[in-house]
Structure 1
Amino acid sequence: MKIIRLVVHCSDTPNDRDVTAEDIHQWHKERKWSGIGYHKVIRRDGTVENGRPEYWEGAHVKGYNSNSLGVCLIGRDEFTPDQFDSLDRVLTRWKDKYPLAEICGHRDLDPRKTCPNFDVGEWWEKNSAL
């Protein structure tokens, strides 16, 4: 699988509610999917949980899953500093493995979406460790 995009999502759950990768896995199974569609989940306290293995095609952006990895921030539009620190670490690791991959938000690939409710490209330029 050739990875050309690293896509940031949000769970669109209340900002004060902590959700786990297992919770999302169950929700996605209830939708008759094969399980969690994201490769990583970042909880409110910054804990990074694994979703699908990276070698498995994701199910997070229709039309783009075959060549992307997805990470999901828990919350709707107010993310914690710990979450942003973890997001930076996840994306930095992925960029080390896939240096040509573009970093973007779900909304950048689907104009009907607002997820993750911030400009990922702008955030990455200002805050990345690279």
Structure 2
Amino acid sequence: MKITKIVVHCSDTPNGRETSAEDIHRWHSEQGWDGIGYHHVVKLDGEIEAGRPMYWQGAHADPFNKNSIGICLVGRDEFNADQMRALEGLVLSYKAEYPDAQVLGHCDLNPAKTCPNFDVKAWWAGVKNRSLD
């Protein structure tokens, strides 16, 4: 599978309420889906939980699932420093493996969405600029 996109999402749960990959798996299963659609979930304390295995195509940003990695931040529109540090490390590790992959928010692929409710492209540009210093 050629990864061309790393897509950041949010769980759209109340800010500050912990949610796990297991919770999201259950919610997605209850919708009749094939379980959790994201490959990773970043919890409030910055812990990164595994979601869908990497060998299994994600189900998070149709029609881009085949060539993308889905990362879900717990919360709606307020993400703490622990989460953002964890997200940065995770994305940096994937960019090392897939250097040509774009880093995007779900809303960049689907204008009807606001998820993850921040400008992922601008955030990533800031990360890249810091790493060049």
Q: Distance in 1 between matches of 2:26 and 2:78?
A: 24
Quote the offset at 1:62 in angstroms: 1.2
Gaps in structure 1 of 5+ consecutive residues? none
CA root-mean-square deviation: 0.9
Q: Distance in 1 between matches of 2:121 and 2:67?
A: 18
The sequence identity of aligned pairs, in percent, is 55
In the other structure, the counterpart of 1:122 is 122
Quote the offset at 1:53 in angstroms: 1.1
Quote the offset at 1:7 in angstroms: 0.1
Quote the offset at 1:79 in angstroms: 0.3
Q: Distance in 2 between matches of 1:67 and 1:49?
A: 21
Q: Distance in 2 between matches of 1:98 and 1:53?
A: 17
In the other structure, the counterpart of 1:50 is 50
Alpha-carbon deviations, 1:73-119, whole Å to 9, x = none?
00000001000000001100110111100000000000000000000
TM-score by length of 1: 0.97
Give the secondary-structure state (helix, strand or coil) at the position aligned to 1:35: coil
Q: How many corresponding residue pairs?
A: 130
Gaps in structure 2 of 5+ consecutive residues? none
Quote the offset at 1:127 in angstroms: 2.4
In the other structure, the counterpart of 1:100 is 100
- Structure 1 runs of 4+ aligned residues shifted over 3 Å read none
